[in-house]
Structure 1
Amino acid sequence: MLYDVPVNLGERSYQIHIGAGVLDRIGGLCADVGLKGKCLVITDENVGGHYAEPVLQSLEGAGFSARLATLPPGEQTKCGDQVFSLYSECIKAGLDRKSFVVALGGGVIGDLAGFVAATYLRGIPFVQVPTSLLSMVDSSVGGKTGINIPEGKNLVGAFYQPQLVLADLDTLKTLPPREYAAGLAEVVKYGIIYDAPFFKTLEENIHALADVNNSELLAKMVGRSCEVKAEVVAQDEREGGLRAILNFGHTVGHAVENVAGYGTYVHGEAVAIGSVYAARASAELTGLSKEETERIEQIFKALGLPVTAPGLEWPALREALTVDKKTIGGMPKFVLASEIGAVTFGNEVPEALMETLWNGL
């Protein structure tokens, strides 16, 4: 059974399909949205070993000519060198402007493959098949694509919407526990920024959240996360305003990833650290209560996520913040909360307080 969430963007609208054991439907779903001809399936070595074959079989069974490109796993893969190698794979696959790309994997593959699709022949269709919790609830939805450069994370990219998203919850069963827990950080974020009852539900089900075999709870959790993101993206597709609330915890989180070295902290872990930092800044500047600040910190701890980054010094983090996408005129912009479920974007934190908050974590 598929649980569908619409992303309403006019002529760029599409459906997010969520269910267990539904990977073999990808071919039919691609045909249903009018895709035709040849496609390139982009995956990594870890995911490909589990899921490339059923995806290829489904696509070919639906009449598509599919070629596979398999990349090394890890954040380091999301780089310019891999973009150009994938352009060559597109040519080898014979892709033209009516062809399409399938991103089979987590956030790294989704961002990278989406960027390739957005730029090859000035843009060809693509499909997201997220296999990690983080990519299901965040990076596969909303059309952000991109790569990292040495100076910072996601500094090169494009807004480019997929034709559809298919999230098979069974793929989470082969996800390393650390990666699954990291995905929960983004789930928690949706409660903080938009939906206080959802946050409370997560608190009440904290131990059950770790059970990847609980398909009913997973479907509700992934579904609600996607609904929140879809609602925000529908109002602000290109982050001219409201969509910036999705960056809660990401300002410092991206700096942590950069300074520690990509891969030292996986994305969701860095977001957890950044979220606790943002909560404490919120307590100082936007009225978040002490009780709710502690609730935010405790839920991340209960999920086994880090809330500090020992050994990272503030001067290095501050330098990394100068090239963050959310920094304007050298001053980082933060998403801060007045209460759980209500946030504002574009907030500045005084220089001295930024450092004090970091040293206090």
Structure 2
Amino acid sequence: MMLLDLLHRWTGGLIGLVLAVLGISGALLVHKDAWVILPHAGDAQVQATSAIAGAVERIMADPSARPQMILFANEGFGLNRLTFKEGAGGYSDQAGIMVQRWDSQWERPEIWLFDLHHHLFAGNAGETVGGIAAVAGLLFVLSGIILWWRTRKTFEFRLLPKRLSRPAILRHHRDLGIVAAPLLILSLLTGAILVFRPMAALILGSSAPMVIDASLKAPDPHPAELAAHPDWRKMIETARSHFPEAEVRSLSLPRDGNGLITLRLKKAEEWLPNGRTTLWFAADSGHLVAARDASRLPTKAKIYNLLYPLHAAKVGGLPYRLVMTTSGLALGLLGSLTVWTFWFARKRPKKSRATLVSAS
């Protein structure tokens, strides 16, 4: 038990700050749509095929100024988000008229905060570090439950420690941690699996990673240059003819030379905010290359698709957003106070009188 306690303290002192950053940024991101105070942000969602097609035609009209992706307005946010190269972006209304444009993510707090939470401002390397921190956080919660059991009779719930002394903070850490443990496990486990897909085997069985990879794999590349003026309207109409009741969620230009335009839709039964129902079109001719119906995916892939909505509170409305906000704030508080007590709140050993005399 002493070894477990030592490991828990040292690892927490080293990685607690990363967990605090992930927790606080995650709690803020749950409500990010509420921050955007721009014209038309509160507009009702428009999903008429003709309206979406017209907006895409307007946005994509100039080949030299096309965004790489359009994320269409949703039920709670009335603007389309446009993603350009090199960190640039913008918002347009649902008619395709630009409302705001930025050249760097630092101009929009909801954009750089997303990058902080997902990549720690360090791209793929930062995402890996965040995933490692999430795995470590899971181990902290499990070891913390074991260590708390010895002191369960002294349990006293407090939102904040009585004082900023090391004993008070340690007691608060144990008792707040046990209360928040179920929410922390949910947040950390889903986050870890989203970064490290093989970890899906922990909850879905050893074959899950292979099934998920095969189910979500895009079609083989279709080498082709993007046409100067693709028939965007026909693509939207084709998607709607295949999935009449589905919500059109995003349109992406070819990536990494794959020659495919990607259109994602969300069926009513999907929790994933942008859906996994997908159509791919040839970039040169615009003809349909492949289509995937998310409702026909294997069960393990469907369960995997539930993880992000649970992690980011994209289901359950305001009550669940508040639950995940609580989880993020608890993680932020536990992580930051752990770092404080480990590195700054330790009492220095007093020198003995004999030592002082000899030194003089």
TM range (shorter): under 0.3
Q: TM-score, normalised by structure 1?
A: 0.23
Higher relative contact order (CA 8 A, sep 6+): 2
Q: TM-score, normalised by structure 2?
A: 0.23
Q: Higher strand share goes to which structure? A: 1
Bigger Cα Rg:
2
